[in-house]
Amino acid sequence: MAVEYSDDYLTCDADGITIRLYYFPWGDKRLLYSEIDHAVDYRMTVLRGKWRIWGGDGRHWLNYDPKRPNKDLAFIIHRVGGWVRPVLTPSDPVAFRAVLEAHGVRIGA
């Protein structure tokens, strides 16, 4: 399948997103675009996930990404019927957002 976006921890193709190192101690997660209701982008701060390398708060889960402290923008993925919301920090948020929108994923609350 053709890759539409890829960095060290995320790969987007025609069907969905593969999140590398999502599960502890290893393990990838696959999200189909059809499972995504919408996504919310936000500026990370020290109190809002910027220094969280891996883990979450029970509602939000961030995959392993040791480069996250150097990133500023994150996307919270709201899945249809899902309680836990993956939080993704792409290396190129503009390109990642464009892929989501191209597949009909609404960005915003």
Residue indicated by tokens 């994923």: 105
Q: Strand 29-32 to strand 36-43: parallel, antiparallel, or no bridges (unpaired)? A: unpaired
109, pLDDT greater than 80: no
pLDDT tens sequence across 10-28? 999 999 999 999 998 889 9
- Predicted pLDDT of residue 88: 98
SS3 string, 73-108, reads EEEEEEECCCCCEEEECCCCHHHHHHHHHHCCCEEC
Helices H / strands E in the chain, number of each? 1, 10
Query: Residue 29 pLDDT > 90, yes or no?
Result: yes
CA dihedral 106→76→63→9, nearest 10 degrees, is: 40
Whether the per-residue pLDDT at 94 is higher than 90: the answer is yes
Q: Provide the pLDDT for residue 38.
A: 97
User: How does pLDDT run across 53-80, given as a tens digit for each residue?
Assistant: 999 998 999 999 999 999 999 999 999 9
Q: Please provide the average confidence, as pLDDT, over all residues in the chain.
A: 95
Percent of the residues in the chain that have a pLDDT greater than 70, as a whole number: 100
